Amino acid sequence: MQLPYLFMRANPGDTGTRPVVGPFWESPDVYILAGVHPAVAPAIPPQLGQTALAGADNTVYAHVWNLGHQAAREVIVEFYWCDPSLGFNPVGAHLIGSTVTWLGKRGEPDCHKVVKCPESWAASYLNGGHECLLVRVWDVCADPLTTPEWDASINRHLGQRNIHVVQAGTSPGGPVKLSVGQLFGQAATITVARHAPTTMPWLQLHGGVRGQFPGQAVGTGALTLAAPGQLGGTGPITATGDDSHVMFATGDAPPPPGQAHVYRVTAQQQGAVIGGYTVVLMG
C-alpha cells in the first residue's frame, strides 16, 4: 500500500527501524536557536548544535522525514519540554507549541524538511541540568500517531533530546537531579558510565564540523549516583516508583581545551534500556 512513513531520527543513520539500538535520546533532528524568538528566527537555524539560554526566548526546530511512497498532506508537529529526566513522563510534559506542514514522498526534494515551532521556549536549568525536549510528528489520516505515544525508543514518530552541555570555562556546578520516568510497576536499574566523544554523533552538530569530535579527556574523579538525600556511590541503584529521582555528580576535573567528558546515565528494565540522559563537559 502506498502510504507515508514519517519518522524522526534517533541517530544519523536511522531510517525509522524500531526499537532503537543504542541511545535514543540524542536525536540529531531536534535543534535550538538560543536567545531568539520564533517571530524573528529564520526558517532554518544557522547552527544545529546550540543549547538553550535560560530565562530567554529560544526557538525549537524539528527535522522531520517521510520515507513512504506517498506524500503526507496534513503533518502535525508537536514540541514539548520536561524537567531533566531519563524517561519522558507525559505527566510532566509541557507543550511548547505545534504546527502543521506537509512532506513529499520518498525521493522528492521535500520528503524531509526543518520545521520551526511557532511558540517561544523560555528554558530554565532546573535541578542542575538542561531540560529535555521531545517532538512528535504524524499525518492525521495516512500515518497517525502510534503507541507508545511518549517512548522514542519504540515509536518512530518521536524525536527526543536529553542532553546537558557544560561549556568550556564553565563550572559543572552541583549534582544533576534526574527524574527516572514512568516504570509501569517494575523496578529499574540506574547506572552511569563514561563514553568516548566519538560515540556521540550529536557532538558533530555542536562543533559544526562533520566527522570532527573532541578528544576524550582522562577521568580524574569518581562518578556517583544516589537517591536524593542519600550518600552516593559508584555502583548501580534501583528505582521502584514513577516519582523516583536520582542524583548524578562527577569528580572529574574540567577537560583541557579540545577534549570532553561524556557521561550517560541510563535506566534499564530486564536488560533493556528504557531511558537515558547525557551530560557533556566541554574543554
Q: What pLDDT sits at residue 172?
A: 66
Q: What is the per-residue pLDDT across 231-256, written as a single tens digit (0 to 9) for each? A: 778 779 999 988 899 999 999 999 99
Q: Which of 162, 188, 220 is the last residue of a domain?
A: 162
Q: Report the SS3 class of residue 199.
A: helix
Amino acid at the residue 162? N
Q: Is residue 61 part of a domain?
A: yes
Q: Is it the case that residue 37 has pLDDT exceeding 80? A: yes
Query: What's the confidence (pLDDT) of residue 128?
Result: 63
Q: How confident is the model at residue 86, as a pLDDT?
A: 93
The rounded distance, in Å, linking the Cα atoms of 62 and 50 is: 13
194 in any annotated domain:
yes
What digits encode the pLDDT tens for the residues 160-177?
999 999 987 776 667 899
187 occurs within a structural domain: yes
* pLDDT at 231 (0 to 100): 74
Q: How confident is the model at residue 127 (pLDDT cuts 50, 70, 90)?
A: low
278: domain CATH number?
2.60.40
Cα 219 to Cα 261: distance, rounded to the nearest angstrom? 8
Per-residue model confidence as pLDDT tens digits over 137-162: 999 999 999 999 999 999 999 999 99
pLDDT score, position 182: 87
User: Which of 174, 185, 184, 189 lies closest to 236 in space, CA to CA?
Assistant: 189
The pLDDT of 107-121, averaged and rounded, is 97
pLDDT of residue 47: 95
The residue from 162, 195, 218 where one domain ends is 162
* 115 shares a domain with 12: yes
Do 84 and 132 contact (CB within 8 A), yes or no?
A: yes
- DSSP, collapsed to helix, strand or coil, labels residue 40 as coil
pLDDT tens sequence across 187-216: 999 999 999 999 999 999 999 999 999 999
223, 234 in Cβ contact below 8 A? yes
- pLDDT value, residue 174: 78
Owning domain of residue 64: 6-162
Region 46-75 average pLDDT: 96
Same domain, 139 and 208: no
Write out the E strands in the chain: 6-7, 30-34, 57-66, 72-82, 94-103, 112-116, 121-122, 132-139, 158-161, 163-166, 176-179, 188-195, 215-216, 223-226, 237-239, 245-250, 259-269, 272-282
Verify that 230 and 94 share a domain, yes or no.
no
pTM check: above 0.85: yes
The DSSP-derived string for 211-276 is T--PEEPPP-S-EEEE-TTS--BSS-EEE-STT-EEEEEE-PPPPPTTEEEEEEEEEEETTEEEEE
Q: Is a pLDDT exceeding 70 seen at residue 267?
A: yes
Whether 52 contacts 94, CB under 8 Å: no
CB 239 within 8 A of CB 181: no
**Coil, strand, or helix at residue 90?**
helix
